Structure 1
């Protein structure tokens, strides 16, 4: 039952937001009593924490599987983006922003975990890009891997990038192009242009 509650909570949180969904909402959706939920998760904060970590682990595992394929580094970057967006329901409810605003302690723990995973993934991507001459050989890998993390988390700030003005899918596409154009070689640019020129349905 605990796992079922967690899965339903994840679904609702991603659809409507960590703040908006109540324990009553989850109980109603599952056809169980709120007391049953509290038997497994003593507070909503505990449930939010479990849900956030579950989402993180799911995405981290997927990123690891994609990285293991050793795709062309530009293709890998877009595939990871597509995977993450799919599992975050295209971030319709701005989960990261809501965590930061309403559950800052959970968000801080999660940020550290995200940084560790992304550092490993992005540094590997950058080094392979240099080796395959897709990225410029003189790029500062440690700096770029960190500035990439700052950017990818920063664009999820709804105060800076309100979704009505910056739709999340378009925002992500623009950020990836911005990031990659700064580091690709002429060879890499040809590959990047193939992805940029695809229709939304093909991406």
Structure 2
């Protein structure tokens, strides 16, 4: 039952936000009493933390599987982007910012884990791209890893990138192309153009 509660709550939180979804909403969605939820979770904060941590671990494992496929580094980033979008329901209510506002301790913890994971993945991606000569050989990989993380978080700010003007999927595509065009070699540029053209068909 705990797994069903967590999965249902996660779905609702991502669709409608951490603030607006109540324990009653979750109970009604499953068709159980609120008391049943409280037998598994002492309060909503505990449930939110379990949902967030489980989602992070699930997505982290999925990203590791994509990296393990040993695609070229440019294709790898597009596969990761596609995977993340499919698991976050396009972040319709910007859950990251709701988490930061209403559950700051959980946000701080998950943000630290997310940064460490992404930093490691981007550094590895850059290293392999340079080795394969599809990224420029004079890159400052530490700068690139940090600016990539910073940019990815910034485009989620709906005060800057309003969703009605910048749909999440298109925004992610634009950001990824922006990132890659700054680091690819002439050889990598050809690969990038092929991927972009194939995605537009």
TM-score (norm 2): 0.96
Instruction: Identify the residue that residue 184 of structure 2 maps to in structure 1.
Output: 184
**Where does residue 163 of structure 2 map in the other structure?**
163
Give the Cα separation in 2 of the matches to 1:190 and 1:170.
21
CA distance in 2: counterparts of 1:150 and 1:104, whole angstroms = 19
Report the equivalent of 1:7. 7
* 1:197 match: secondary structure: helix
Structure 1, unaligned runs of 5 or more: none
**Matches of 1:64 and 1:16 in 2, distance apart?**
28
| RMSD across aligned positions (CA) | 1.2
User: Which stretch shifts more, 125-134 or 65-74?
Assistant: 65-74
Q: Across the two proteins, how many residue pairs are aligned to each other? A: 201
The structural deviation recorded for 1:36 is 0.9
Q: Deviations over 1:58-114 (max 9, x none)?
A: 110011111111111010000000000001112222221221222222111111000
- Structure 2 regions of 5+ residues with no counterpart? none
Describe the shift of the 1:121–1:14 C-alpha distance in structure 2 as closer, same or farther (beyond 3 A). same
CA deviation after TM superposition for structure 1 residue 199, in Å: 4.2
Moved over 3 A (4+): none
- Cα shift at 1:129: 0.2
SS in 1 for 2:70: coil
8 Å contact from structure 1 (residues 97, 158) kept in 2: no
The question of 1:18 aligning with 2:18 is answered yes
Counterpart position of 1:95? 95
In 2, the alpha carbon distance for the partners of 1:9 and 1:46 equals 12
CA distance in 1, matches of 2:190, 2:13: 39
Q: What is the rounded CA distance, in whole Å, between the counterparts of 2:194 and 2:105 in structure 1?
A: 41
The residue that corresponds to 2:150 in the other structure is 150
Equivalence for 1:112: 112
* Inter-partner Cα distance in structure 2 for 1:172 and 1:137: 25
- How far apart, CA to CA, are the structure 1 residues paired with 2:171 and 2:61? 24
Cα distance in 1 for partners of 2:24, 2:96 equals 23
